Amino acid sequence: MKKRNIIIDCDPGIDDIVALCFAIANEDKLNILGITTVAGNQSIEKVTKNALGLMSFLHKDIKVAKGAKGPLVREKRPASNVHGENGVGDYELPEAAELYSNNAITFLRDTIMSADDKVTLVPVGPLTNIALLLKTFPEVIEKIELLSIMGGSTNGGNCTPTAEFNVWADPEAARIVFDSKLPIVMSGLNVTHCTGLYRDDVDKLLKSDGKVSHMCGEILDFYFRGDHVKSGKFTPIHDACSIMYLVHPELYQYKHMDVKVDCSAELNRGNTACDVREWIDYDESYPKILTSIDQDKFTEILLNGLYKLDTIVK
């Protein structure tokens, strides 16, 4: 089967690190053309360092390009309470690999336009880089196959009652992306809250002798200190959902919906207003909103991917 060309746009971030590991574990299906970083979970300097540090840790030479240092309009507000001061639960990744580019937008343009086939973008942080790309270099649109986005929600938020963090962090960028009419798959909180690992799973990772699985156990252990973890027993791995969809779409149920992003400055800032009315049928030109997931299979496949990397990375 032909590999899918992808570029992962991220803000590592604990769940970003796990998602990147899972993507690399599936390089038999995914041709990872590069990684771009965006300020979100932490500052652009910290998240870029984390992406580069992970490449060093995994001995991978995937190109990393540094992106936007803040939202298009808003003030930057990192999620230190969830991801820690360094963005990866205080875990110390090795000395950072060499940065390929200081300009993620031109890197995205050049990589997409020079690819031998269409490219899927996987934005799992604020959508600032993607919005800038679409507005600055609209010629890339014809070569983008899909946007597999982690962001938004059909039924409430995590950083506010109505908004998910990635969209809330830069709603203007999110509106540009959702209004682009590009093919979009949205992994929102309504599904990602069921995509994750149990306390027992993380304990097993912590006890593992494998380099990758043990590292993931250490950074995920940090999550269980936060109030976002359900009764201390289960933690979502939000960003892995957008990668999982690309390699195992059969795990998901979905519905095409219209999505409007609220850019107001009040309570509903960042709300993704999804038209969930059952009697309204939208065609395939509208975003594909993931609505449910085979949770047990997700957990099994994710863990197997991390353990698979242990056999490759020493």
What are the per-10-residue average pLDDT scores of the chain (314 residues)?
94 97 98 97 96 97 97 86 87 92 98 98 98 98 98 94 96 98 97 95 97 97 76 89 98 98 93 95 97 97 97 88
Q: Quick one: 295 exposed, middle or buried, by C-beta within 10 A (0-12, 13-18, 19+)?
A: middle
- Residue 227 confidence (pLDDT): 61
The amino acid occupying position 15 is D
User: Distance between CA atoms of 50 and 87, rounded to whole angstroms?
Assistant: 8
8 beta partners: 35, 122
Q: Which residue type sits at 174?
A: A
Query: Which of 52, 62, 73, 56 lies closest to 24, judged by CA?
Result: 62
- Residue 228 has a pLDDT of 61
Domains identified in the chain, total number: 1
| pLDDT for residue 203 | 96
What confidence score (pLDDT) does residue 314 get? 79
Q: What is the pLDDT of residue 80?
A: 75
Q: How many other C-beta atoms lie within 10 A of the C-beta of residue 293?
A: 22
291, exposed or middle or buried, with CB in 10 Å at 0-12, 13-18, 19+?
middle
Q: Does residue 134 contact residue 143 with C-beta atoms inside 8 Å? A: no
Residue 76 is predicted with a pLDDT of 85
Can you tell me the distance from the alpha carbon of 314 to that of 71, in angstroms, rounded to the nearest whole number? Answer: 38
Is beta strand 119-123 parallel, antiparallel or unpaired with respect to 184-187?
Answer: unpaired
User: Could you list the active site residues?
Assistant: 238
Q: Give the domain extent around 64.
A: 4-310
Alpha-carbon torsion (68, 218, 240, 229), positive or negative: negative
Q: What is the b/e burial string over 202-238, where b = at least 16 CB atoms within 10 angstroms of the residue's CB? A: beebeebebebbebbbbbbbbbbebeeeeeeebbbbb
